Amino acid sequence: MLDPQARALIDLMAERQIPPTHTLPHADARRFYRERRAITQPDPPAVGAVRDLHAAGPDAVIPLRLYEPAQGTWPHPVLVYYHGGGWVIGDLDTHDVICRQLCRDSGWAVLSVDYRLAPEHPFPAAPDDALAAVRWVREHGAAHGLDATRIALGGDSAGGNLAAATAIAMRNAGDAPALLQLLIYPATDMRAVAPSHTHNGQGYVLTADTIAYFRGFYTPQPAQWEDWRASPLLAADLSHLPPALVLTAGFDPLRDEGRQYADALAAAGVKSQYVCFERQIHGFITMGRVIDEAHTALDLCAAALRRAL
């Protein structure tokens, strides 16, 4: 059964004739995503401090936003967080509330990364920026009260994809590993071949059409889908990666590839926990104003971060 609150949201979107993302030019899609967050997201909770920073990326300056907890150990452990939005939409503001919630509830600092977006900057710009942000923490975090030896990687949807890919890139480069991967309904296989892409491909906010729209901008060449930086599930070796918490939603096209990634990590000897919110839709964790289970999911994430210490 679809969660009644999720059903009510879908019905409201239909009643108000909210245009599907894939029908919009990408600039309009970004604006709509930014504007409609007020309908579903809770009021932003207070944290200790919020600062806008920047890091030097491989080809451009990467905007960052640092959330510091009001309490907790000093220097702070830091969750490097990558926002969702199909690598095409989303920014520091669209995910401000979830970063504040994770900071407040876990006691960790959260560093939100405004990586470059497609179609202006297609693959592999986003994973390049994602890795550069972590290396910025290693090199400069101490000057901002961050403990560069205690890093976690996290994100939702496209951001979960980037967190997973960054963990692999860090291992391949011989970098010190993160303490945790926090993967919230992550995209892990750009081929979009898992059964849930068919079963949940229409009617539940994120549709097969919208996935194809994002993929067309981000990885326009099908050969790119096989690259592990785009499809972490297809990496030849998933061993020696940080422990992972993988959350999925039962009515999400990405559900099965999230579970497959959790299973693949476990098969490679990586500690992984998998939780599926069976009645939920893609994107629900940011919708705490209208979906109560968003808060339950955030509680799980915050608890995982606390345990990782």
Per residue in 178-197, pLDDT (tens digit) is 999 999 999 999 999 999 99
The answer to whether residue 72 scores a pLDDT higher than 90 is: no
The predicted structure's pLDDT at residue 71: 85
Q: What is the pLDDT of residues 128-157, one digit of tens each?
A: 999 999 999 999 999 999 999 999 999 999
Whole-structure pTM value: 0.98
The answer to whether residue 100 scores a pLDDT higher than 80 is: yes
Q: What is the pLDDT of residues 18-62, one digit of tens each?
A: 999 999 999 999 999 999 898 999 999 999 999 999 999 988 999
CA distance 143 to 29: 37
Residue 147 annotated in active site: no
Q: Which entry of 157, 196, 231, 272 is annotated as an active-site residue?
A: 157
The predicted structure's pLDDT at residue 118: 98
The average pLDDT across 111-125 equals: 98
Please provide the CATH number assigned to the domain covering 4-308: 3.40.50.1820
Tokens of 77: 């452990």
The predicted structure's pLDDT at residue 264: 98
Residue 252 annotated in active site: yes
Given a contact cutoff of 8 angstroms between Cβ atoms, the answer to whether 180 and 106 are in contact is no
The average confidence (pLDDT) of the chain is 97
Q: Which entry of 91, 129, 189, 252 is annotated as an active-site residue?
A: 252
Domain ranges of the chain: 4-308
